[in-house]
């Protein structure tokens, strides 16, 4: 077994595209769930709307990339308002069900044959990312960071991605130590109390939904550019579930929690994938136990088990403060 390759791959995964996408999605979700206590299970829909908004504008209507980005952002805001207006008055558990349903509607629409003229149906859309790569200031070649190596396209995507992560974290940091953030956290604790103190709870929840949705929409852009194609099944409910795992792993309501969570999450998955793959090719694991094809399934199982174990044994995340969580009355 080539341990240095396994470790290099894990390190690459820590800063790689999946980490970038899921860190951004989770930063948004952290605003919803971690700070405001909104059980939004439709985060994938924000990614989808942004990704498709960008792809359709550029690929189908031949608009410039920047216009595509604007369309994606607008799409996320509109989705947040559409989703929030009817649902934010609902109880938390109803909200969870309605948001997951809404996200599934969005995915089914993008997938449908009837709209495939614009969306490409289940195959999705390509040929929209060149505008993004054409403004890459880096020349062709390999760019390295310690043992990690990326070509100029990857380096460009990752640089943009990590810049967005940095800016998002800064924004969340500033907001959450302001009186505005204090109202969100109070709503998480008990919204009736906040109402009784004269705050318009509905409006704040909607603002939170829009903010988290817009942050999640950045993840949608990174998905689109990084993969150079958008497909409806990139935005399934499992995407949202992974993002939840990441938020909880890093510690809910912590500014850098989602980033740390995403890096650890993808590094762990890369580790298990690589170790299993290598153990298989070295012949340590027989086909009757695990075929190469099944490695991906072991990974889903691990995510599931990990999420359960975290929630049961360390609900405050890897770095959170248990005492604080013990105060949680819910």
Partner 1 sequence: MRHAVRAVIGGLLAALCVLLLPGAAVAAGETVQGRLQNAGEALEGVTITVATVDGQSVGEAVTDAEGAFVIPVPEAGDYVVTLDEETLPERVAIREGRSASITLPVAVDQQRSVLFPLGEGTRNVQSDLDRLPQLAVEGLNFGLIIALAAVGLSLIYGTTGLVNFAHGELITLGALLAYLFNVTMGIQLVPAALLAVVASALLGGVQDRVLWRPLRKKGTGLIAMLVVTIGLALFLRGLFLYQFGGSTAPYDDYQGQTGYDLGPVTIAPKDLISMGICIVMLLAVAYALLRTRIGKATRAVSDNPALAASSGIDVERVISTVWVAGAGLAGLAGILLALAQQVSFQLGFQILLLVFAGVTLGGLGTAFGALVGSLVVGIFTQVSTIFVPTELKNAGALAILILILLVRPQGILGRAERVG
Partner 2 sequence: MPAEPAVPTASLTPRKDAALRAFAGVEAVPGSSKPDPILVADGVTRRFGGLTAVDVGHVEIQRGSITALIGPNGAGKSTFFNLLTGFDTPDDGTWTFNGQSLAGVPSHKVARRGMVRTFQLTKALSRLTVMQNMLLGATGQRGENFWRAILPMTWRKQEQENTARAEELLARFKLDKKRDDFAGTMSGGQRKLLEMARALMVGPEMVMLDEPMAGVNPALTQSLLGHVKALREDGMTVLFVEHDMDMVRDISDWVLVMAQGRVIAEGPPDAIMADEAVIDAYLGGHHDAPLDEAQEQEQLAAAEAELREQEGDR
* Residues that bind partner 1 in the complex, under the rule CB under 8 A: 39, 86-87, 89-94, 96-98, 100-102, 104-105, 108-109, 111-114, 116, 121-123, 192, 238, 241, 244-245, 248, 291-294, 296-313, 315, 328-330
Q: Would you tell me how many other CB atoms lie within 10 Å of the CB of residue 51?
A: 31
Q: How far is the CB of 46 from partner 1 (least distance, A)?
A: 17
Q: How far is the CB of 301 from partner 1 (least distance, A)?
A: 4
Q: What is residue 191's three-state secondary structure?
A: helix
CA–CA dist 230, 120 (Å, integer): 9
Q: Which two tokens stand for residue 154?
A: 């990857």
Q: How far is the CB of 324 from partner 2 (least distance, A)?
A: 6
Q: Which does 289 bind (CB under 5 to 8 A by kind): partner 2, partner 1, none?
A: none
- Chain positions contacting partner 2, by CB under 8 A: 171, 174-175, 178-183, 185-186, 188-190, 192-201, 207, 211, 324, 327-329
Q: How far is the CB of 185 from partner 2 (least distance, A)?
A: 6
- Give 156-190 as a DSSP string: HHHHHHHHHHHHHHHHHHHHHTSHHHHHHHHHHH-
Q: Which two tokens stand for residue 94?
A: 């109803």
Task: Please say whether the dihedral angle defined by the alpha carbons of residues 43, 46, 47 and 52, taken in this order, is positive or negative.
Answer: positive
Q: Which two tokens stand for residue 83?
A: 């989703």
Residue 218 and residue 168 in contact, taking contact as beta carbons nearer than 8 Å = yes
Closest listed residue to residue 204, CA positions, set 64, 285, 70, 84: 84
Nearer Cβ to partner 2 (4/196): 196
Nearer Cβ to partner 2 (62/192): 192
Nearer Cβ to partner 2 (13/194): 194
Nearer Cβ to partner 2 (151/324): 324
Distance of CA 158 to the CA centre of its chain: 15
Q: How far is the CB of 286 from partner 1 (least distance, A)?
A: 14
Whole-Å CA distances, 10 to 264, 318, 320? 9, 19, 24
Q: How far is the CB of 295 from partner 1 (least distance, A)?
A: 9
Q: Which does 137 bind (CB under 5 to 8 A by kind): partner 2, partner 1, none?
A: none
Closest listed residue to residue 100, CA positions, set 235, 288, 217: 235
Nearer Cβ to partner 2 (56/247): 247
- Give 278-296 as a DSSP string: HHHHTTSS-TTT--GGGHH
Closest listed residue to residue 213, CA positions, set 47, 13, 37: 47
Q: Which does 66 bind (CB under 5 to 8 A by kind): partner 2, partner 1, none?
A: none
Q: Which helix (H) or strand (E) segment is 144 a member of?
A: strand 142-145
Residue 72 and residue 50 in contact, taking contact as beta carbons nearer than 8 Å = yes
Q: Which does 194 bind (CB under 5 to 8 A by kind): partner 1, partner 2, none?
A: partner 2
Q: Which does 92 bind (CB under 5 to 8 A by kind): partner 2, partner 1, none?
A: partner 1
Q: How far is the CB of 37 from partner 2 (least distance, A)?
A: 10
Q: Which does 174 bind (CB under 5 to 8 A by kind): partner 1, partner 2, none?
A: partner 2
Nearer Cβ to partner 1 (140/192): 192
Q: How far is the CB of 226 from partner 1 (least distance, A)?
A: 16
Nearer Cβ to partner 1 (197/298): 298
């Amino acid at each position: 077994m080539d341990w240095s390759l396994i470790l290099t791959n894990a390190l690459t995964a820590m800063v790689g595209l999946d980490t970038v996408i899921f860190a951004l999605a989770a930063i948004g979700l952290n605003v919803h769930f971690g700070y405001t206590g909104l059980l939004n299970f439709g985060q994938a829909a924000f990614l989808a709307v942004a990704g498709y908004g960008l792809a359709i504008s550029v690929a189908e209507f031949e608009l410039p990339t920047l216009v595509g980005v604007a369309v994606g952002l607008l799409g996320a805001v509109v989705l947040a308002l559409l989703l929030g207006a009817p649902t934010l008055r609902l109880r938390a558990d109803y909200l969870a069900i309605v948001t997951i349903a809404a996200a599934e509607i969005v995915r089914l629409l993008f997938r449908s044959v009837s709209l495939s003229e614009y969306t490409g149906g289940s195959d999705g859309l390509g040929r929209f990312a060149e505008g993004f790569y054409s403004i890459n200031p880096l020349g062709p070649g390999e760019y390295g960071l310690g043992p990690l190596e990326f070509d100029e396209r990857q380096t460009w995507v990752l640089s943009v991605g990590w810049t967005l992560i940095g800016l998002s974290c800064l924004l969340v940091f500033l907001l959450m130590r302001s009186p505005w953030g204090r109202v969100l956290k109070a709503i998480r604790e008990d919204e009736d109390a906040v109402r009784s103190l004269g705050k318009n709870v509905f409006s704040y929840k909607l603002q939170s939904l829009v903010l988290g949705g817009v942050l999640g929409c950045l993840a949608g852009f990174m998905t689109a550019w990084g993969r150079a194609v958008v497909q409806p099944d990139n935005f399934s409910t499992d995407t949202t579930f992974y993002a939840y795992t990441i938020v909880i792993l890093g510690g809910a309501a912590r500014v850098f929690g989602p980033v740390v969570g995403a890096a650890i999450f993808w590094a762990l998955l890369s580790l298990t994938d690589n170790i299993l793959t290598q153990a298989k090719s070295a012949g340590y694991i027989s086909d009757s136990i695990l075929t190469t094809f099944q490695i991906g399934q072991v990974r889903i199982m691990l995510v599931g088990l990990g999420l359960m174990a975290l929630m049961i044994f360390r609900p405050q995340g890897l770095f959170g403060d248990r005492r604080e969580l013990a105060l949680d009355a819910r």
